[in-house]
Structure 1
Amino acid sequence: MYSVSLYEVAPSSIHNLATPFDSAIPFIPAMIVPYSWSLILFVVSFFLVRTSTQLSLLSYRLILATIFACLIFYFYPARFSFNRLPPNDWTQFGYQFLQLVDKPFNQLPSLHVSYAILLGVSLWDIAGSEKSWVSGAYRLLLTGICTLIALSTVLTYQHHLLDMLGGAVLAVLVLMLSNRIRNALVIKYLAVGSIGFLLIAIGGFYFANMSMRVSEVVENLAIIIAAYWLISFTMLACAYQQAKPIQDTRWFQKSNSGRLTLYTWMKFAPIIFIYNSMSFLGQWYFKVTSRGQIHLLTPYAINDRVKVVASPRLRQADLHSHLAYWLFGYDSLERSRSLEKLPPSVHYQIIVIDLAAEISSHVYHLEAAANGIIKTPVHYLYLPLLDLQPLSDVLLKDYIDLFKRIDALTQSAETRAITANSDSHIENSLTTIINFHCVMGLSRSIGVQVLYLLYCGTLTIHDYQSWIEQHYPHAHLKGAYLPQSLVEIMADYKSIEYPTTH
């Protein structure tokens, strides 16, 4: 529709890709039949693939081809330049329907050609058989169907030869790229970026033509915003594409107080706005459904000195209640104030591990709340994990470095507490609360907390699943997110690092 509207407003903006060779190509009405096979093969292909890997690869290829083609249609709109007289035979109904649903625009590249090649390659090995002639017959039939679909684009006068060539080139590029895509999240954000760009840019075009006085300003502004959106989501897709993104903190940088830096905002403002909105709406929803009652998460005691708790990013208004509950076991700040007369030998500290790469941490509000209750030091550590990024993407070394820093903070504070109370030798004089937090859900925070408990030896490979079900019954940590191999490595880490000698 955009190309049609653009042609009506500025015909010179639409390109003509006809060559002298196109004039020699005959119009064959009956080729409307194989032309229609493209949609049938497209739908059937999803039922023919046998494994989830084949389905993912097929989906990646078709989505990538569609995304790139739509972007090319926007930046280089083209129109079929020949006049096609409607035939007077049995094919006329097919061409009449084609005229309704497929205008002679969006020519380069031909998606019929791209899809034919991509589907042919994706379905090539589907018919596995011990008899070679069965596989050969299947591949011959598949090749014939895909070839006829590709040829039909020019023989029905829907495309020019350059469109056909462009479709083939696009298919080859997609085949090369799809084999390097790490997961569906890369495709997801490329699609969101491209769709957002097209919606904003085309919306600006229509709005500009409604208001002719500021048409150029509106259209240019829309293009700038659309380009910014596309670039941000493309960079996010690149971050997910990295095998070990934790090693490169340039993506989502934060200050020492857990706030996203200005440079990060400049790169990812659309994504950050989306995640802040999700966090706000999620907290509002839980508040409404719980009728204003705060669901306090109970810390799990590793020993009599250290407790751990996983949480989403907490609302500023709820921090006092959470903090009082974590430190003293009371569910309200009013009751915790009765503890102001605690003996000086009792010490507390909080260690916040921020796993939410896309949103600022609650640590700076938590520190203010802690000082309002009792002078409690708050330490901040940052492990930037992307949303739904498998925990196995992070190097074991990065986990171990984080856990050793947690241990160092715990031991250092414990030493200071013992030194301060050396005369009285009061035991249990220090309580450390370790808070793993993510954005809104609990997948990231529970997953890394489980790895830490495995590292400490509190959990084993045999009981960690039952522990999750007991303490976080609503959590959904699938094997792809927290793989068994990572659990086994973390559980055996200390025995490997410090082998027992006999």
Structure 2
Amino acid sequence: MIPFIPAMIVPYSWSLVLFVVSFFLVRTSIQLSLLSYRLILATVFACLIFYFYPARFSFSRSIPDDWTQLGYQFLQLVDKPFNQLPSLHVSYAMLLGVSLWDVVASKKRWGSAAYRLLLTGICTLIALSTVLTYQHHLLDMFGGVVLAVLVMILSNRIRNALVIKHLTLGVIGFLLIAMTGFYFANMSMIASKVVEDLAIIIASYWLISFTMLACAYQQDKPIRDIRWFRKCSSGRLTVYTRIKFAPIIIIYNGMSLLGQWYFKVFSKSQKYPLTPYAINDKVKVVASARLMQMDLSSHLTYWLFGYDLLERSIVPEKLPYSVHYQIIVVDLAAEISSHTHNLKIAANSSVSTTVHYLYLPLLDLQPLNDVLLQDYIDLFKQIDALIQSAETQAITANNESWVEDSQVKDDQVKDSLITRDHPRFCVTAI
């Protein structure tokens, strides 16, 4: 009983124009972020529904022979009658109307009222045109309204863009994997059902993993809740963490290997660019990415003893005095394992060194502006406690050495004994 009105093809085409123009109408970064969140969420969720419920328009539509004919011919070419429920035209119209409601600020009340009346009229005509052009059914229109309402509720509660990013990656990955399995199953005459079912299982695993990751970013204090990315005492991700977030961990490890390869190939002019910054004569700080195990010994020697000693190939064990070094590793990356374990192996094989491990995920797990000041304070308290503990052990060792060698009168020998267990620190943020 709904009439077909050919002229409604005009407001139906306004949806694309309003979609593009909306990004130029918003006035603040907050409005731009909220607009982007809403449109991305609506598109992602709609595509997911299209996959599970691929509705099609139920009856054919004749092309009119008046001035609107060209518009309907173009529509028939670019907008096929598939993926009907929900109607994205309706969802976009509502979301754009709400997002652009306050972008025009006029000193005169009639100016703002006229703008809002015009915006409401455009969005209403776009929504009505979906059924009056016989492009959607009435149920599709209601589905678009429900989707828009859900997206507006959800977008107002999202904490940062990382939540949107991982939800989007989850849905896109699911669709790509599932469709790839579908096409391979149709191309293969053998075990086609097995191929399609396997693709669905992998795609579902991908979607669940990224949805959990989005939930981790949505937490108020995920930096304190290490159950999302739990690591053992040596900085390695636990098996449970690897199972939960295998897709993102595989991606990050691939990026890490690529970074290590780039560092090795394109940094030949600067063989050891990770120059330590000396806080004082006992403490140095080095910021580095995760390094290859084969390079750790060279970097460790460079950090502790300098470039000249490394170039002269002097073995640390042959130094005149044995100095005990303390290395404190501050792990800031949540999604990949630290190379602390390999660093311990390299340190034990070269010099008398103790490696400590501290975990403070900051980089991709949490934006810097979401990190609490107390987390920084706790980190520096832990570092200070480790340094004081090492100094206490050094004083105790020096006193014991002094008592045992009290018969020795050579001042040079005494000085060497005092120097032997004096702690030196290298704090690395990896």
Which TM-score applies when normalising by structure 1? Answer: 0.80
Letter in 1 for 2:426: I
Equivalenced residue count is 414
Name the SS for the 1:322 alignment partner. Answer: helix
Matched, 1:432 2:409: no
Find 1:65's aligned residue among 42, 50, 53.
Answer: 42
Find 2:95's aligned residue among 100, 103, 118.
Answer: 118
- Segment drifting more, 203-212 vs 361-370: 203-212
Structure 1 residues 331 and 263: CA distance shift in structure 2, 3 A: farther
Find 1:279's aligned residue among 256, 265, 273.
Answer: 256
Residue 221 of structure 2 corresponds to 244
Residue 15 of structure 1 corresponds to none
Structure 1 residues 259 and 388: CA distance shift in structure 2, 3 A: closer
Residue 181 of structure 1 corresponds to 158
Name the SS for the 1:77 alignment partner. Answer: coil
Structure 1 residues 33 and 226: CA distance shift in structure 2, 3 A: same
Structure 1 residues 336 and 351: CA distance shift in structure 2, 3 A: farther
Contact 1:283 1:315 in 2 (8 A): yes
Structure 1 residues 419 and 310: CA distance shift in structure 2, 3 A: same
Quote how far apart the aligned CAs of 1:94 are. 0.9
Letter in 1 for 2:149: V
Structure 1 residues 93 and 85: CA distance shift in structure 2, 3 A: same
Distance, in Å, in 2 between the alignment partners of 1:209 and 1:233 is 28
Distance, in Å, in 2 between the alignment partners of 1:353 and 1:88 is 72
Quote how far apart the aligned CAs of 1:290 are. 2.3
Matched, 1:202 2:179: yes
- Segment drifting more, 328-337 vs 409-418: 328-337
Contact 1:287 1:293 in 2 (8 A): no
Cα-to-partner distance string for 1:299-358 (whole Å, 9 max, x where unaligned): 222222222111111111211111001111136757464432345662211111111111
Find 2:336's aligned residue among 359, 380, 383.
Answer: 359
Find 2:31's aligned residue among 54, 57, 82.
Answer: 54
Contact 1:330 1:336 in 2 (8 A): no
Unaligned runs of 5+ in 2: 403-413
Find 1:306's aligned residue among 275, 280, 283.
Answer: 283
Matched, 1:39 2:23: no
Contact 2:217 2:365 in 1 (8 A): no
Distance, in Å, in 1 between the alignment partners of 2:127 and 2:259 is 48
Cα-to-partner distance string for 1:104-147 (whole Å, 9 max, x where unaligned): 11011000000000000011111111111111111111000000
Matched, 1:340 2:304: no
Quote how far apart the aligned CAs of 1:287 are. 2.1
Contact 1:348 1:377 in 2 (8 A): yes
Distance, in Å, in 2 between the alignment partners of 1:247 and 1:290 is 36
Find 1:325's aligned residue among 273, 293, 302.
Answer: 302
Distance, in Å, in 2 between the alignment partners of 1:298 and 1:237 is 36
Letter in 2 for 1:212: M
Distance, in Å, in 1 between the alignment partners of 2:123 and 2:218 is 31
Structure 1 residues 389 and 276: CA distance shift in structure 2, 3 A: same
Which TM-score applies when normalising by structure 2? Answer: 0.93
Matches within 5 A, 1:52-451: 52-291=29-268, 294-330=271-307, 335=312, 337-342=314-319, 346-387=323-364, 389-422=366-399, 423=402, 424=414, 426=418, 429-437=422-430
Distance, in Å, in 2 between the alignment partners of 1:285 and 1:298 is 18
Distance, in Å, in 2 between the alignment partners of 1:254 and 1:345 is 33
Letter in 1 for 2:127: A
Name the SS for the 1:78 alignment partner. Answer: coil
Quote how far apart the aligned CAs of 1:398 are. 2.4
Distance, in Å, in 2 between the alignment partners of 1:301 and 1:203 is 54
Give the root-mean-square deviation of aligned CA atoms: 1.7
Name the SS for the 1:350 alignment partner. Answer: strand
Q: Percent identity?
A: 78
Distance, in Å, in 1 between the alignment partners of 2:320 and 2:373 is 41
Letter in 2 for 1:36: S
Distance, in Å, in 1 between the alignment partners of 2:248 and 2:215 is 14
Contact 1:294 1:318 in 2 (8 A): no
Structure 1 residues 332 and 267: CA distance shift in structure 2, 3 A: farther
Larger Cα Rg: Structure 1 or Structure 2?
Answer: 2
Residue 409 of structure 2 corresponds to none
Contact 1:354 1:380 in 2 (8 A): yes
Contact 1:306 1:432 in 2 (8 A): yes
Distance, in Å, in 1 between the alignment partners of 2:268 and 2:243 is 38
Name the SS for the 2:360 alignment partner. Answer: strand
Higher relative CO (CA 8 A, sep ≥ 6), structure 1 or 2?
2
Quote how far apart the aligned CAs of 1:391 are. 2.1
Quote how far apart the aligned CAs of 1:148 are. 0.3
Quote how far apart the aligned CAs of 1:388 are. 6.9
Contact 1:296 1:322 in 2 (8 A): no
Letter in 1 for 2:244: K
Letter in 2 for 1:261: T
- Segment drifting more, 341-350 vs 251-260: 341-350
Contact 2:222 2:366 in 1 (8 A): no
Name the SS for the 1:273 alignment partner. Answer: helix
Letter in 1 for 2:121: G
